Chain A
């Protein structure tokens, strides 16, 4: 019960903080719309009009990933700047528990990205929103978002140790877009990248979402999303403990 309250209050607090940040608006709404627009024109130019919804969904997922990534990195970095990272580490609940709701809230706001690209595509480019399996879509999106949030938690734990979290965020944005095949097929990539793709929740997430919208097997990818989400949670609970300990030894919790 206490645990749930810690999670709920952290979730609310982070949503409030994100709501006042223009950077958040940029990553979760503006950037996905710009990338979606670029993708629409590229797809249209190649005569692949039938796949514009594919581009909408992909650009939306790119936004979900960016929000999770910058949210996780930013959340640790801001806490460090404000001097609250030490407070979190000093509080009685397990540190992973403190950051779990923050990560979930970050990923949750990633849904804005999906909504933004779908609405933008519908209104500006007239892309019809017909879903093959609406109910499975309604299930796949939140499942993917939660799994990404949990993956963000693993990242956040590394940022506790690594002061330049922003740089790591910048580095991980495109590669995950690429390796997860969010807007193009991973078959265009070299074979050795295949196992990397399989380990990424967004790879399975976008498959589930795409199949729910355009038709195809949803249950398989959806199961993988949930499994990888749970695995992330398990990993993060261990890494948080490790890194917090290492950060205390190396004194990287605060700036002073």
Chain B
């Protein structure tokens, strides 16, 4: 168990530094802080211009969604870059527990996602006049943590797909943009066609954002418990799917050399 935990924490954080392309300040500040900030301003102003929803609708939606900057891109890189660096061979040749290796990489991603979200919420408060009651902050924080967990789990699945797919960056970008459309970030789910809102309900973020909006407007945690649990369930499902796919690919790779470009 101790072995498992050190692979999980120590291994996870070393690998993250090695695999996450944007860790240097020169890359980190523009992509992880700059881009979310301007995304927030863009959609809030667009919403104001379209006169569709309240200002807080966009601020909460985008502040939560930007965690995907870390969860989707960061996690995809933390898994799929193994192939790019040619380190997948040595990794697979090691006896380490795969779940510990795989889930451990989610930890730093998760922490970073929280930071990005928190930064964007603060920016919304300072620049755009977002004013949740102080009492709402702890509940809001909890909801955001859960949502970032599920987004990171989704990133794990994308990362595993990226191990096999040639162009994982394409998938990560596409996932990020589609979240803006499907997950109720900028458009209420009930204004989307039925099939689109159905897709949205199977994705991470959707329930978390809905819960965050209610909590920010003063609702208690008890009131949004169902949404939070659903989001957690979605997280578990994606993490399990990602790990299972990783295992399948490893097995397939031994059988028919599918990952053999390492």
Contact = CB atoms under 8 A, between A and B. Distances in A.
A184 B49 CA distance: 6
Interface stretch (B99-107, B174-182, B210-218): B174-182
B51 A171 contact: no
A183 B49 contact: yes
Nearest to A178: B42
Interface residues of B, number: 36
Interface residues of A, number: 35
Given A41-B191, A47-B51, A166-B27, A171 B45 contact: no
Interface in A183-226: 183-185, 188-189
B262 interface: no
Interface in B41-59: 41-42, 45-53
Contacts of A166: 27, 31
B39 A34 contact: no
User: Is chain B's binding surface mostly helix, strand, loop or mixed?
Assistant: helix
B124 to A, nearest CB: 15
A20 to B, nearest CB: 11
Interface stretch (B113-121, B165-173, B221-229): B165-173
A22 B167 contact: yes
Secondary structure call for the A interface: helix
Contacts of B52: 42-43, 45-46
Interface string A81-109: 00000000000000000000000000000
A131 interface: no
A168 interface: yes
B22 A41 contact: no
Contacts of A164: 24, 26-27
Interface of B: 22, 24, 26-27, 29-31, 34-35, 38-39, 41-42, 45-53, 167, 169-170, 173-174, 177-178, 180-181, 186-188, 191-192
23 contacts: A30-B174, A34-B181, A35-B180, A38-B180, A41-B191, A42-B46, A42-B186, A43-B50, A45-B52, A45-B187, A46-B50, A47-B51, A163-B26, A167-B22, A167-B27, A171-B34, A174-B38, A175-B38, A183-B46, A183-B49, A184-B50, A185-B49, A188-B49
